Structure 1
Amino acid sequence: MIRRALFISSALVAGALLGACSDNASKPASNAGAGAAQQAAPVGVVALKKASFPVTTILPGRAESFQTADIRPQVSGIIREIAFREGGEIKKGDLLYQIEDAPYIAAVEQAKAAISKAEASVPSAESNLERYQRLVGSGATQIEYETARTTLLQAKAEVESAKAALSAAQIDLDHTKIVAPFDGVIDQTAYNVGNVVSANQSTALTTIRQLDPIYISLTESSTNLLRLRDAMEAGDIKGAENVAFHLILEDGKEYNQQGKLDMSKQVVSETTGTFIIRVLFPNPDRVVLPGMYVRATVELGAETGYALPQLATSRDANGRLTAQFVSADGKVETRAFENSSPSNNSWLVTEGIKDGDQLIVSGLQSITSGMPVKPVPMKISDNGVVVPAEQPAAGDAQKPAAK
């Protein structure tokens, strides 16, 4: 019994000692956490100011030829000559293929002979008609006169028929020379010298594409179309009649030509909910080729508001635009915006901000809402890089860490 009591007492003493050690160990940690909470983390900020900014959107698209022509023969025969360089540039009227023309030259000569033969019978028929006309009533019947007149008409008709045959033969002869219908770039040939081709065959000899200018077919959502129309009717967007298009190539570089709206399909796709906008771009150096995937920045007008750089924003679970600001008491404040419009590398917001508000643009990974921070003035360079406000953009640029 005594041994059992001693064992219980020893266990109680050990438990008390362990509890005291635990309390002593937790006190320094708590004090350290309190000290860390009082330290303000430095963050880069930019002061916002209300101004007029372009309303833009970026649309995906694909390049298409301005004109495309599949070249097919209009007469049958053997290819005698191929006069172009595959993949080269050609001009309108340049000779592409020469089909053997000897049979067609013979047909032209035969048609000319038929005209001469038909014309030779006309004078005789005219003389015969005049003779019967004089003898009507004094030795020639009316029937004989009508027959002579019919014979003359038939002779003249045969002349016209022969002339039409000559025109047809000449057209066939001209078609033995296949020429370019417009300026462009020509593909490789599907037939070689010595191959036999047929009139209006289904297989094309080659294809010509006109690349200057060039079409860009852009895809836009019907939702954005409705939103744009609402903004225009409300007067929020001005100058939308002069829509400007700027092209971004596959390598990320901006194309040095500006496009103009050509047409848009008025039917929204039932499967994708999108509609097509076709834009015409000058392409003098053949930089853009058919089939290329590109992006186009579209300036839809201008709107007054505050520009939030995309690098300083994110989206919440409901899809709303969010950004971090420095509150009046120096703490992180998270704001959400129901409506926003793209404007180059920024989001354009019209509500929930006032002049002078400090938007946090760097150090976003190390802060949370309600945390005290120390604002450091920064600015955004033209290429979207965060730099110190007192140094030029070419100085020690520092891109913000990805959020």
Structure 2
Amino acid sequence: MPRPASGPRAPLPSPSRPARRRGLLLALGLLALPLPALAQFGGGGPTEVGVIELEVSAAPYQVVLPGRAVAHDQTEIRPRVEGLVEEISYRAGTRVEAGDLLFRLETDTYDVALAAAEAQLASAEATRSAAQAQVDRYERLEGVGSTRSDLDQARASLASAEASVAAAEASLKSARLNIERTEIRSPIAGIVDLAQVSEGALVTANQSQALTTVTTMDPIYVDVQESSARMLRVRKRLDEGTLTRAGDLDIGLVLETGDTYEGMGRMVSPRSEVSTTTGTVDFRIEFDNPERVILPGQFLRVTITLGETQAILVPQRATSRGSDGSLTAFIAEGETARQVTLTAQGTWQNAWIVTEGVSAGDLLIVDGLQNLRDRGAVTTVPVTINAAGLVEDQAPAGDAGSETGADAAAGE
């Protein structure tokens, strides 16, 4: 089939009059938009930001230290005599008091030994009585019916008999102790663990395997470590007066879930030396733990309030970290935003405790920070920061009256 001959392309159709009219109206509509609306289409203009006025206030100086829970007391229970486990007298996970029965061993062998010791003591006491009677007789007949040699021999026999009685009494005491030790009791009060043996198992005296463990968890210890360098810095601030010492240390605890523990801690004792490997000092803190919320081995965070310091509180939401780790924020100077670098000495609630970088009276930008640049043009709006760290608009001065702006307009 022959191909059609090629020729010049047909010209594109020109827009119709209605299409041109719609384009013109669109252009006129954009030109009629106010300046903020034009900014959405690439127009320029100052950025509206929310600001708060900074002021100096007293802020608690806190340090947060990682710690680990340690049992107040923990004892491994082992048998002191050999025998078969006849009874396990506790339920695992329950609290036991000092002296409560945990295990009972069979006593047949020790009952026999006790009876033998009692018989031995009775025999020794009889021998001693006979020896004593002979000594008494020789003392009455000395020089008449007995010689000095007979009396000395009688007294030696009495001494031997008394020694036999003492040995028999010791054997009897040992036999009674063995009987008592067949009842294995808890030496401390605490929570008893699972039994590591079952009834009928043979146990031996002072074996390596513990029968169970009793742990005291109320109160409980939390061990923490503090840098010796920071301790020196805190002491220097106390000497300089920039930090006011608190009367009593306020010690709190943050659980693994991030929740704050209700009870307050008590300092038990700091160590008197610095670790040569970590450069830290160990501290032990005691917490009441009646509900067993804290368990030995848990990793926790301890907050210690050392005193108060005069500083400026800068909300954390208004700051950012630079690539070099520096803490920065923006303040409004007239109609210009200026970026500043802050020096912080810890945190309090949702704010940094700032000692350098800003001054009282500065207007800190806390809202509208997205895409904000140093020396950028801004318009400021006063706002407030609530307890949760959220920004709220300040109420106009006229709102304090009984008639709102809307009511006034309605009245007109």
TM range (shorter): 0.7 to 0.9
1:187-208 Cα distance to aligned partner (Å, 9 max, x none): 2111100110011111111111
Task: Please state whether the residue corresponding to 1:188 is helix, strand or coil.
Answer: coil
Match of residue 367, structure 1, among 359, 362, 372: 372
Q: Is the 8 A contact 2:343 2:355 kept in 1?
A: no
Q: Which residue of 1 aligns with 2:163?
A: 157
Identity of aligned residues (%): 37
Structure 1 stretches of 5 or more lacking a match? 1-31, 392-403
Q: Which residue of 2 aligns with 1:217?
A: 223
Task: Please state whether the residue corresponding to 1:199 is helix, strand or coil.
Answer: coil
Task: Please state whether the residue corresponding to 1:124 is helix, strand or coil.
Answer: helix
**CA pair 271-88 structure 1, distance change in 2 beyond 3 A:** same
1:380 counterpart = 2:388: no
- Using the TM superposition, give the Cα deviation of residue 134 of structure 1 relative to its aligned residue in structure 2, in angstroms: 3.1
Q: Which residue of 2 aligns with 1:350?
A: 355
Q: Which residue of 1 aligns with 2:82?
A: 76
1:300-327 Cα distance to aligned partner (Å, 9 max, x none): 1111111122332344466544322112
Q: Normalised by the size of structure 2, how large is the TM-score? A: 0.80
Q: Normalised by the size of structure 1, how large is the TM-score? A: 0.81
Moved more, 241-250 or 203-212: 241-250
1:95-116 Cα distance to aligned partner (Å, 9 max, x none): 1111112222222222222222
Counterpart CA distance in 1 for 2:393 and 2:117 is 88
Q: Is the 8 A contact 2:344 2:352 kept in 1?
A: no
Amino acid at match of 1:184: G
1:122 counterpart = 2:128: yes
**CA pair 241-262 structure 1, distance change in 2 beyond 3 A:** farther
Q: Which residue of 2 aligns with 1:336?
A: 341
Match of residue 169, structure 1, among 152, 155, 175: 175
1:303 counterpart = 2:317: no
CA RMSD of aligned residues (A): 2.5
Aligned residue pairs: how many?
358
Q: Which residue of 2 aligns with 1:45?
A: 51
- Using the TM superposition, give the Cα deviation of residue 286 of structure 1 relative to its aligned residue in structure 2, in angstroms: 1.1
Q: Which residue of 2 aligns with 1:141?
A: 147
- Using the TM superposition, give the Cα deviation of residue 70 of structure 1 relative to its aligned residue in structure 2, in angstroms: 0.9
- Using the TM superposition, give the Cα deviation of residue 181 of structure 1 relative to its aligned residue in structure 2, in angstroms: 2.0
**CA pair 136-387 structure 1, distance change in 2 beyond 3 A:** same
- Using the TM superposition, give the Cα deviation of residue 64 of structure 1 relative to its aligned residue in structure 2, in angstroms: 1.6
1:338-368 Cα distance to aligned partner (Å, 9 max, x none): 4623334332223443332222223323211
Listed as ranges, the matches of 1:212-251 within 5 Å are 212-240=218-246, 242-251=248-257
Structure 2 stretches of 5 or more lacking a match? 1-37, 397-412
Amino acid at match of 1:149: R
**CA pair 86-324 structure 1, distance change in 2 beyond 3 A:** same
Q: Which residue of 1 aligns with 2:92?
A: 86
Amino acid at match of 1:118: A
**CA pair 58-186 structure 1, distance change in 2 beyond 3 A:** same
Q: Which residue of 1 aligns with 2:7?
A: none
**CA pair 140-282 structure 1, distance change in 2 beyond 3 A:** same
Amino acid at match of 1:155: A
Counterpart CA distance in 2 for 1:166 and 1:388 is 88
**CA pair 131-221 structure 1, distance change in 2 beyond 3 A:** same
1:277-335 Cα distance to aligned partner (Å, 9 max, x none): 221111111111122222122211111111122332344466544322112x2322222
Match of residue 201, structure 1, among 197, 207, 216: 207
**CA pair 318-282 structure 1, distance change in 2 beyond 3 A:** same
**CA pair 61-381 structure 1, distance change in 2 beyond 3 A:** farther
- Using the TM superposition, give the Cα deviation of residue 80 of structure 1 relative to its aligned residue in structure 2, in angstroms: 0.3
Amino acid at match of 1:354: S
Moved more, 123-132 or 264-273: 264-273
- Using the TM superposition, give the Cα deviation of residue 385 of structure 1 relative to its aligned residue in structure 2, in angstroms: 3.0
- Using the TM superposition, give the Cα deviation of residue 336 of structure 1 relative to its aligned residue in structure 2, in angstroms: 2.3
